[in-house]
A = this chain, B = another copy of it.
Amino acid sequence: MNKVVRIKDIAEKANVSTGTVDRVLHNRGRVAEDVRQRVLKIAEELNYKPNILARALVNNKIYHIAALIPDPAHDNYWQAPKAGIEKAEEELQQYGMRVTQFCFDPFNAESFVKEADKVASRSFDGILVAPVFYRQSLSYFSKWKRQGIPFVLFNTHIPNYEPLMYIGQDSYQSGFLAAKLLHYGSKEKGSFVVAHIEEDVANSSHLISKEQGFVDYFVTQELESKYHTIQIDVQSSAQQTITQQLDKLFKANPDIRGVFVTNSKAFVMADYLAQRKLQQVDLVGYDLIEENLAHLNTNRINFLINQNPKGQGYWGILGLADHLIFKKKNNPIKYLPLDIITKENLHYYIEADQ
């Protein structure tokens, strides 16, 4: 009793063969309409669920996936998504997944185009891409769409091209959260800084979203009179050194209570604060990269917001596998949680085996 329903069970009940049931279930045609209806009805009644194990077993095709991601050599952050991709590949390789990585320089749009062209010139069964260059990405999306190649976006969302899935960050909300953390830590009147470090802000919409979320926190709570937010753009390529730029900032604003760094470069600010012995200034940033962790452990960084970058790569590949191998439908958007990381809960997130 309570046995799992198989195609064979449906076939027996409908007085047809398993081949017919299969044709009905997969809409392969060549089946009489009345039989079709009957089979469909019985499958429904018996609550038939295909056995994905058997399905994956029989379907021993090799699926070639392209992963188009920034090169960790240029920005350490991308080590994590890469690791997630590789973990998923390892788990799924016995079911036929083969991932080829195409790494581009995240600071060089041409490099992206070059790698994307490589991907486009071969025929892949699926593509995972971190489309950090908005303009340059679009033509590839429409091409893949036309060719019917499923592609999954992560890290940066670009709607309108209906990717199979988007996985990643809610930038605005993370800025909002950062504001809450700094606000909670500084009950007295003062200023907060939103710092973009070593970034081309104009071309990075997610940084603007983060800043907007940060500012909006104080607006929606009607705290603007109590807390002042200052935006700053720090570049080592500028005329002044970073230290000089920050000296200027802190000199002009002696009431700074906290700093929000919108990318993974919080350690730069932490170095500065340590150097100037500004111990009372709180600091919130992003990403569990090594340079940041050192400061987290010494409390020079109070919180890091983490968006499970390893998980982004992992779930991206898994999403493609669900589609290609297991024929399972997935939610087209998967926002990963905004994890708040501090020294005391850090280790659960870096050991992260999932």
Interface residues of A (CB under 8 A from B): 2, 4, 49, 51, 53-54, 56-57, 93-96, 98, 173, 176-177, 180-181, 184-187, 217, 280, 282, 302, 331, 335-340, 342-345, 348-349, 352-353
Contact = CB atoms under 8 A, between A and B. Distances in A.
Given A185-B184, A340-B340, A93 B345 contact: no
A280 B57 CA distance: 61
Nearest to A307: B348
Contact of A180 (B95, B181, B331, B343): B343
B94 A51 contact: yes
Given A51-B94, A176-B344, 11 more contacts: A4-B96, A49-B94, A53-B56, A53-B57, A57-B57, A184-B185, A217-B344, A336-B348, A337-B345, A338-B344, A339-B340
Q: Which are the 4 A-B pairs with shortest beta-carbon distances?
A: A337-B348, A340-B340, A338-B345, A177-B344
A52 to B, nearest CB: 8
Contacts of A352: 337
A5 to B, nearest CB: 9
Contacts of A184: 184-185, 282, 302, 342
B53 A95 contact: yes
Contacts of A349: 337
Given A340-B340, A344-B176, A54 B57 contact: yes
22 contacts: A4-B94, A4-B96, A53-B54, A54-B57, A173-B344, A176-B344, A180-B342, A180-B343, A184-B184, A184-B282, A184-B342, A185-B187, A187-B187, A331-B353, A336-B348, A337-B339, A337-B348, A337-B352, A338-B345, A338-B348, A340-B342, A340-B345
Contacts of A331: 353
Most buried by B among A56, A302, A348: A348
Nearest to A175: B344
A336 to B, nearest CB: 7
A177 B339 CA distance: 14
A100 B54 CA distance: 26
A89 to B, nearest CB: 12
Contacts of A345: 173, 177, 337-340
Nearest to A331: B353
B180 A344 contact: yes
Contacts of A217: 344
Nearest to A349: B337
Nearest to A302: B184
Contacts of A187: 185-187, 280
